[in-house]
Structure 1
Amino acid sequence: MWQNNYKAYGAPRLRLALADLNLHHGINRIRRLMRSAGIYSVMSRRFNKPTTTVDYSQRPNLIKHLPAANAWSMDITYLKLNNGQWVYLASVLELRTYQILSHQISTTMDTRLVLITLQRALSTHQKPSYLHTDMGSQFTSFGFENLLNHHKIDHSYSKLGHPYDNARIESFHSLLKREMIYQFRFPSIAHLILDVAKYIHWFNNERISIANRKMKVA
């Protein structure tokens, strides 16, 4: 159970997983058994990424006013292959369900990457009223703004100095790295693409969310 879930489950989520199998144990007992078996949730690591320079301008920040049922969030993160090459993952997150609607990996971090990712999400899901991003040059480009205007989607931006405005999708990218990326090696971009797709399927459909369980109980 622990091994088959990217070694990501600590005692709280293992307790929920066991309860689904009608095996009910206290949290302290599960922690003791984990220690004796040498089982632990994967630990986070520092992940240094290249830096980029972006020109900022006045853009609307609507994130605190977005109705979750009507909003998506989008971001790009950096991943590294065995040979040290940086590649780039763009993802679209639905804020209400906290599910990844589409993703794309590329060797270049350009407007085309975000256009393809957003178009994939729009082709399989009902369009949102709002899309929130940071103010990276890919998201402020004419091509990206034109696509949003074509679909009549309002664009919300994280304010300069307020990176946590886009925290939910940044949290997903952090989980991806801690729960999967740091555990494996990727000899080629093809291997990375396959493993990221498998992880996202698991994240959307199988990963136990303690927060969601609490909401259902409430």
Structure 2
Amino acid sequence: MDAPSSVATTETVIRLIAGVDEAGRGPLAGPVAVAAVILDPSRPKIRGLDDSKKLTEAKREALYEKIVDRALAYCIVLVTADEIDRINIFQATMTGMCRALAGLNPSAHEAWIDGNALPRELPCAGRAIIGGDALEPAISAASILAKVSRDRWMIELDREYPGYGFAEHKGYGTPFHLDALKRLGPCPQHRRSFAPVKILVDQGVLF
């Protein structure tokens, strides 16, 4: 009897890469937003992806809708001002990256992260890419989701805490914002560990 023949089968395993980026490390108020995105390799590429800072607000909004519609998976995390004050902005950003990656379904095999640092507790392999938000489409997509999500949140905070101009400057230390801080004192959304706010808190200027 002839020996049974063996049939070799091969399966193509698609390695899922998540782009990760943040928005809002520098502002004096509001959360830091972190997004993780896995672009769908089976769908057409999204045209116009770039570092969110290089895009107009209208372009970011349009791309945001395309990304959430076409991505294989995405997750957006907001790390609050309170948590930023407790663990510092760097650790808050690293924590947000881990949470965003953990929230992806399906999970990523590898994370490409904008910048020069990787969180210690990544749920997958990681690679830091300096300037990655302008180089890698998945990181660009994450940059856009993080930026748009945070900007929308700051507009909501402007309604809750009027007078600071959050809708315009998004919490950054503009002259208008600094003047409002002096006049009104910090609100609950201000980062007490950041120098201009900390000085007012130490002086006993409270909202």
Structure of larger gyration radius: 2
- Please give the range of the TM-score, normalised by the shorter of the 2 chains: 0.3 to 0.5
- Taking structure 1 as the reference length, the TM-score comes to 0.38
